[in-house]
Amino acid sequence: MKLSLCMIVKNEETNLPKCLQSVEDVVDEIVVLDTGSSDQTIQIAEQFGAKVHYFEWCNNFSTARNEALKYVTRDWILVLDADESLTPEIAPYLQEAINIQDYLLINLVRQEIGATQSPYSLVSRLFRNHAKIKFDRPYHALVDDSIAAISTKETYWQIGYLPEVAILHAGYQKAIISQQQKYGKAAAAMEEFFAANPDDVYVCSKLGALYVEMGKINEGMELLNQGLSQMIGNQLNQSNNQVHKDKIRLRGFQNSQSRKVGNSLSQDIKETNYDILYELHYHLGIAHTHFKNFNQAISHYQAAVKLPIYPLLKLGGYNNLGNLLKVSADFLGAKNAYETAIKIDPSFVTGYYNLGMVCKAMGSLVEAIDCYDKAIQLNPDYAEAYQNLGVVLLKAGDVETSLAAFEYAIALHEKNNPQEAQRLRQGLQDMGLK
């Protein structure tokens, strides 16, 4: 099977080379739809052998992506944005997946670079070149609705997922979001769509979460609760054998030990959009935490992590649950939440750090030291981990190693947080250690 890369771009000369380099030996065709670049984007795309087409931007991502699909000629389509890249390890598994006869769509795990809350997502970006597959929704463009419609009529198709991280995404880092005014653009697009589709649970989830992120907590909670109520109502209707009105979003959730493609389409998933339900509970947890409604927040996080979705997607839920249980002095509960997160993802740096903090609070100094060491191994520039390692080592009586850790912390803080560096230096002087 042959694979096409399909992209829409505008003024992406900084990001585009990395993206295209990551697919050079993976795809057989590169289709780029430019929506008005004034920099070197087009020239860079052509250097990589891309077929470049042009489209006047209409403030609708789905319309643009569907236009780009018209120019694809290969059997399968991979959709990437310029600020995304394929991981080198995924190539053989991706090729194996598209050669499986029964698959219509393969969900891919995407890692959000720099994210501490929800570092992973599952995205429907790899699918057959099928005439009826189209993108829908103006901002969060998805093929899920068309995939659901096809699967209903052409029942032989299967939906799969690749368990390994396939895509690295740098676009949601805070500095980039602020620079590109992503929140405002996303809100405007989703508000317009929601005005015409007020019962859309997916938009309730996404727009509600966005409002919370923007500080519009009450507005966000209203939408999130609306979405949650609608989903509960849909579940009740299903139990009474009534017509299911929700859109089907097909997402893999099985905890497969295989590195190959996993099967994700089950009757259970057809009936309940568990990934949306997770997001509703997760963001309601964030909103209630903002108002210090800790019991309600804990309840939402507990509900979220119980859902049968792909385990990597639950990291933010387990981490936030641990934070709240720690605040509530339920140290054992917090410890279990952090340990679960680390079990799911042994490279989850924030999980090791937070586990170290709760072990320190419990007086388990040796365990805390081990956690901080692991966090530092994964992120050598983790100033807070060095700082707290110094505190625990000092409590354990290892003054020399403690001072070395504090010195590392001060040096790192000097780069990004000079005030904290000075505060820490002064604290050591006050204790007669410097």
Of 65-69, 183-187, 323-327, 340-344, least confident by mean pLDDT is 183-187
Residue-level pLDDT at 255:
35
Residue-level pLDDT at 190:
84
Q: Give the H or E element holding residue 246.
A: none
Q: Considering the domain delimited by 3-172, tell me its CATH architecture.
A: Alpha-Beta Complex (3.90)
Query: Which residue matches tokens 């419609």?
Result: 149
Residue-level pLDDT at 171:
64
Average pLDDT over the chain, rounded to an integer: 87
The torsion angles phi and psi of 175, rounded to 5 degrees, stand at -65, -40
Residue-level pLDDT at 237:
52
d(CA 217, CA 215): 5
Tokens, residue 380: 């050598």
Note the pLDDT tens digit of each residue in 346-396.
999 999 999 999 999 999 999 999 999 999 999 999 999 999 999 999 999
d(CA 12, CA 40): 8
192: pLDDT confidence band, cut at 50, 70 and 90?
A: confident
On the 0-12 / 13-18 / 19+ scale of CB atoms within 10 A, 12 is: buried
Residue-level pLDDT at 32:
98
Q: Average pLDDT of 257-285?
A: 66
Residue-level pLDDT at 273:
79
Residue-level pLDDT at 263:
54
- Please state the pTM of the whole predicted model: 0.82
- Kindly tell me if the per-residue pLDDT of 245 is higher than 90: no
- Kindly tell me if the per-residue pLDDT of 165 is higher than 80: yes
Residue-level pLDDT at 3:
97
d(CA 197, CA 188): 14
253: pLDDT confidence band, cut at 50, 70 and 90?
A: very low
Residue-level pLDDT at 116:
64
d(CA 425, CA 412): 12
Residue-level pLDDT at 272:
56
Of 180-184, 250-254, 355-359, 392-396, least confident by mean pLDDT is 250-254
Beta-strand relationship, 262-263 and 51-54: unpaired
Note the pLDDT tens digit of each residue in 106-128.
999 999 887 766 788 889 999 99
Q: Is 328 left (phi over 0), alpha (psi -120 to 50) or beta?
A: alpha
Residue-level pLDDT at 262:
58
Task: Give the start-to-end residue ranges of the domains of the chain.
Answer: 3-172, 346-434
d(CA 261, CA 102): 12
Query: 120: closest CA among 400, 316, 267, 271?
Result: 316
Is residue 277 a contact partner of residue 231, using CB atoms and an 8 Å limit?
yes
353 vs 273 pLDDT, higher one: 353
* Cα 2 to Cα 76, 120, 123, 261, distances in angstroms: 6, 28, 21, 17
Is residue 305 a contact partner of residue 314, using CB atoms and an 8 Å limit?
yes
Q: Average pLDDT of 46-72?
A: 94
**What dotted CATH number matches 346-434?**
1.25.40.10
- Kindly tell me if the per-residue pLDDT of 418 is higher than 90: yes
Residue-level pLDDT at 389:
97
Residue-level pLDDT at 250:
38
Q: Average pLDDT of 16-42?
A: 96
The torsion angles phi and psi of 119, rounded to 5 degrees, stand at -75, -10
Query: 158: closest CA among 235, 238, 269, 255?
Result: 269
Residue-level pLDDT at 341:
96
Query: 224: closest CA among 239, 238, 213, 235?
Result: 213
- How far apart are the two ends of the chain, measured CA to CA in Å? 65
Buried b (16+ CB within 10 A) or exposed e, 182-201: eeeebbebbeebbeeeeebb
Residue-level pLDDT at 235:
54
Residue-level pLDDT at 117:
66
d(CA 51, CA 77): 14
Residue-level pLDDT at 56:
94
Q: Helix or strand or coil: residue 180?
A: helix
The torsion angles phi and psi of 75, rounded to 5 degrees, stand at -75, -35
The torsion angles phi and psi of 142, rounded to 5 degrees, stand at -135, 150
d(CA 162, CA 108): 6
Residue-level pLDDT at 136:
87
- Kindly tell me if the per-residue pLDDT of 184 is higher than 90: no
Of 20-29, 90-99, 249-258, 411-420, least confident by mean pLDDT is 249-258
Is residue 280 a contact partner of residue 228, using CB atoms and an 8 Å limit?
yes
Is residue 358 a contact partner of residue 331, using CB atoms and an 8 Å limit?
yes
Query: 334: closest CA among 348, 346, 324?
Result: 324
Q: Which amino acid, 10?
A: K
Q: Give the H or E element holding residue 84.
A: strand 84-86
Residue-level pLDDT at 185:
74
Q: Average pLDDT of 127-151?
A: 88
Question: Is the C-alpha dihedral spanning 61, 168, 227, 217 positive or negative?
Answer: negative
Q: Where are the alpha helices (DSSP H) in 174-214?
A: 174-180, 182-196, 201-213
Note the pLDDT tens digit of each residue in 231-241.
887 654 554 44
137 vs 134 pLDDT, higher one: 134
142: pLDDT confidence band, cut at 50, 70 and 90?
A: confident
Note the pLDDT tens digit of each residue in 216-233.
999 999 999 999 998 887
394 vs 199 pLDDT, higher one: 394
Query: What whole-number percentage of the chain has pLDDT above 90?
Result: 70
Q: Helix or strand or coil: residue 379?
A: coil
Tokens, residue 397: 């009586």
